[in-house]
Structure 1
Amino acid sequence: MIEARHTDVEMRWRASALALSLATCVAVALGAALLGRWQLTVFAAPLLGALMSLPWQRPVPNVQVHAEPALVRCFEGEEAHLVVWATTDDGTPVDLTITTAAGAQLEATRDAAGRIEIALTAPRWGRYPLVAGLRVAGRGGLLTGTAAGHVAAADVFVFPVAPARATALPRTELLDRLGTHLTRHVGRGVEYGGIRSYVPGDQLRTVNWPVSARRGSLHVTERLSERAADVVVVVDTYDQPPGPATEATERTVRGAVQVVQSALRNGDRAGVVALGGSPRWLGADIGRRQFYRVLDAVLGAGDEHETTTGTLAPRPAVPPGAVVVAFSTLLDTDFALALIDLCRRGHVVVAVDVLDGAPFADLADPLVGRMWSMQRSFMYRDMRTIGVDVVVWSEAGTLDQVMGLVPRRRRTRPGARAGR
């Protein structure tokens, strides 16, 4: 079902070009009549009557903007199609124009009914609102109405395209749930784990008959279990200073999408938490539909995600035993405290530093850059001591290479680290 949007527009009314022309002609004619050309009053009388008829004209129309669909989602480079038109309650025609944010290519064609068919293409992810410009005549053409403010006719959300590389998770104890991640635990799997003597209760299909024949007693083949994980991506949406910090937003969004995409392909559950200006979260789930829900939550589209307040990740957003992968510039203290809180709850937390270089416009003194690098390394050491592993992701490498550098950590019981 295609959802349409109907927006009532508040109009700002002023004198039209016709009214200004009539007023000018009346003023000139009456001025000349005062100078002795009284015959010009005959010329000014009908013009003045037209202006005086303003209170008896029809009331100004009410304008409404329609868009179908109201919300369009597409990926980078894809073409989004929608239709926008405007109507009035008395049938007055409306001059409608559509604009959008910079960076998007907009093609608009008008059909016979006056509706505008729009095809939008954007090379970069983001939100591209379609803004309607309106102009309508009222009071017999003596008034001209324009939109009183910003009229958002529809929204186009362009999703990022993440590389189809498999992103490794932090090496830790996984949940006892059937999945695709090979572990060292013996269970129901397909990978060879070893040979042991038969114990009453073992299934006959696990008996290794060639080995049993050689050793003269029953032996069974053990298999390594394959388990699943809960992956929650935490995205830093706090305001960033200009420079390299704003450029890191590109890696933040693409990295979050890549981790979720890889987790869902492996049969894991995935969710997202966005901490910053408007905190929101989406619980962990599986399936292809969950991937699009995560994209909506990252860009703030739709209404399937939950909103929250505060600076910490809500407990329902991060299920027990989940692996947390955070993408941030690590410039905001509140975001770092949120990661420490997740670590104290017993989660394995990996922070991916997406800031490439110092957040300064110019580094006139090289000593400042060295001091900045030393300060960041000290911060990494302190966070690792607490339990948050930090890896640096720059333009020189890929995310799957960076995640391979995360050390193995054993999962701790919730509250155990906080009590030390």
Structure 2
Amino acid sequence: MATCAGVALAAAVIGARWQLIAFAAPLLGVLCSISWQRPAPKIRVHGEPDSQRCFETERARLKVWVTQENAPSGEAAVALTVSPVAGMELEAVESDTRHAKAVAATAQRWGRYPVRARIEVLARGGLLTGTATVDAADILVFPLTPPQSTPIPQTELLDRLGAHLTRHIGPGVEYADIRPYVPGDQLRAVNWPVSARRRQLHVTQRLTDRAADVVVLIDTYRQPAGPATEATERVVRGAAQVVQTALRHGDRAGIVALGGNRPRWLGADIGQRQFYRVLDTVLAAGDQFENTTGTLAPRAAVPVGAIVIAFSTLLDTEFALALIDLRKRGHVVIAVDILDSSPFEAQQDPLIDRMWALQRSAMYRDMATVGVDIVGWRGDSTLDQSMGVLPDRRHRLRGRLRG
């Protein structure tokens, strides 16, 4: 406006045209009235809660409303519309107005779904309408996990009280042996029937239960189109099932997500809240996890003596190198191959599928040579059935000691 008014006044003076002064007068009036004009209202969109968590097929209720700052009383020039994204359904649960909406969201598949609010604002003069779309809240849908418990490999567990039966003598409930009483034994361990028969005090030895540290490693590298892309679903569900089983048995559980733009990890911990923290880490939501760089699992993310269970299609070399690095640190590493079919199954030549099967068998053998055992998770079996063939690392250790 100042530029147009200045050009018009200059042309009026130079060309001696008074008509141009009449053209510049309204512009000068607007410029002079800027100091006492009402400020433009500010539109803010709110969502309560701003982050809602639920499981698949559950309803999550939230409220979205609009507030105006520096707006005159009684002004109703703002219209709010809440629209769902693909994969999510929204349903109005209360009588709403133009400025507030109460909806219930439902999703059939896990994921992170934004609740988008569309704002339409009518200008003061009524000639223009402005629109904008913002994400008012997030719906975090967690995957449902099967109730079956997944086993862990038989290995030397940490010297910490837990729920996994071992062959070590200590506090427990499973019978191990009977030996003569020595000073210092607890009286409640005395086996009175045996002591009466042998006329000497004997105590009952029992097998102790120990706990484990389970760290789940998931592959978030970009996968080629085909069966590898569909396997992402099994990565998330498998990781959630392993973590849920570990926490049920009193073990500590953590997760490391390698690949993508933001590799992240969550330290091992116990408790029900840890399960939800793990799922937040998988969905890259919240601030409970730590970000990292590189292609290897951070040492702080994998405690000493932890059991690492990885879920991957084993198509990326960097993820395989991360597994080998964890084995070199002394961890027991189990890789679950979630690719249950060949990416070349659509090819007409059956020789390609045969070569693919031979290449995967060679990879299984090479990884087992360095100490990384691979189990296949086929589509017609559950995860607990596939992991039921885990190797016994204790027997391997004894065999090496004899050799």
Scaled by the length of structure 2, the TM-score of the pair is: 0.85
Aligned to 1:201: 184
**1:411 Cα deviation from its structure 2 partner:** 10
Letter of the 2:49 counterpart: P
**1:221 Cα deviation from its structure 2 partner:** 0.9
Letter of the 2:162 counterpart: G
**1:183 Cα deviation from its structure 2 partner:** 0.4
CA distance, structure 2, for counterparts of residue 115 and residue 52 of structure 1: 40
Q: 1:264 aligns with which of 233, 247, 251?
A: 247
Aligned to 2:129: 144
Closer/same/farther in 2, CA of residues 146 and 369 from structure 1, 3 Å limit: same
Aligned to 1:239: 222
**1:58 Cα deviation from its structure 2 partner:** 6.0
Select the structure with the greater relative contact order (CA < 8 A; seq sep ≥ 6): 1
Aligned to 1:368: 352
- Which runs of 5 or more structure 2 residues have no equivalent in the other structure? 1-24, 398-403
**1:54 Cα deviation from its structure 2 partner:** 8.9
Aligned sequence identity (%): 65
**1:241 Cα deviation from its structure 2 partner:** 1.1
Letter of the 2:203 counterpart: V
Aligned to 1:71: 51
Contact 2:96 2:102 in 1 (8 A): yes
Closer/same/farther in 2, CA of residues 361 and 62 from structure 1, 3 Å limit: farther
CA distance, structure 1, for counterparts of residue 139 and residue 109 of structure 2: 12
Aligned to 1:124: 109
CA distance, structure 2, for counterparts of residue 364 and residue 199 of structure 1: 75
Contact 1:281 1:307 in 2 (8 A): yes
Task: Specify the SS of the correspondent of 1:212.
Answer: helix
> Is it true that 1:352 corresponds to 2:336 in the alignment?
yes
**1:318 Cα deviation from its structure 2 partner:** 0.7
Q: Deviations over 1:110-148 (max 9, x none)?
A: 52472011110001101111122222122412332222x
**1:217 Cα deviation from its structure 2 partner:** 2.4
Task: Specify the SS of the correspondent of 2:116.
Answer: strand
Alignment of structure 1 residues 11-410 onto 2, 5 Å: 60-91=40-71, 93-108=77-92, 111-112=96-97, 114-147=99-132, 151-277=134-260, 278-360=262-344, 362-410=346-394
> Aligned pair count?
364
Closer/same/farther in 2, CA of residues 235 and 346 from structure 1, 3 Å limit: same
CA distance, structure 2, for counterparts of residue 285 and residue 412 of structure 1: 29
CA distance, structure 2, for counterparts of residue 53 and residue 366 of structure 1: 83
Contact 1:54 1:142 in 2 (8 A): no
Q: Deviations over 1:37-88 (max 9, x none)?
A: xxxxxxxxxxxx9999998886654322111111011000110111112233
- Comparing 311-320 with 58-67, which one deviates more in the overlay? 58-67
Contact 1:137 1:145 in 2 (8 A): yes
CA distance, structure 2, for counterparts of residue 124 and residue 51 of structure 1: 57
CA distance, structure 1, for counterparts of residue 238 and residue 228 of structure 2: 15
CA distance, structure 2, for counterparts of residue 334 and residue 370 of structure 1: 25
Aligned to 2:15: none
Letter of the 2:182 counterpart: V
Please give the root-mean-square deviation of Cα atoms over the aligned residues, in Å: 2.5
CA distance, structure 2, for counterparts of residue 88 and residue 411 of structure 1: 70
CA distance, structure 2, for counterparts of residue 323 and residue 51 of structure 1: 75
CA distance, structure 1, for counterparts of residue 29 and residue 356 of structure 2: 73
Contact 1:126 1:158 in 2 (8 A): yes
- Which runs of 5 or more structure 1 residues have no equivalent in the other structure? 1-48, 414-420
Task: Specify the SS of the correspondent of 2:118.
Answer: strand
Letter of the 1:223 counterpart: R
**1:293 Cα deviation from its structure 2 partner:** 0.7
Q: Deviations over 1:315-338 (max 9, x none)?
A: 111111111111111111111111
Q: Deviations over 1:136-161 (max 9, x none)?
A: 122412332222xx622111110001
Contact 2:80 2:117 in 1 (8 A): yes
- Comparing 262-271 with 214-223, which one deviates more in the overlay? 214-223
Contact 1:346 1:412 in 2 (8 A): no
Contact 2:39 2:70 in 1 (8 A): no
CA distance, structure 2, for counterparts of residue 51 and residue 373 of structure 1: 79
Letter of the 2:147 counterpart: A
**1:203 Cα deviation from its structure 2 partner:** 2.1
CA distance, structure 2, for counterparts of residue 53 and residue 380 of structure 1: 82
- Comparing 352-361 with 181-190, which one deviates more in the overlay? 352-361
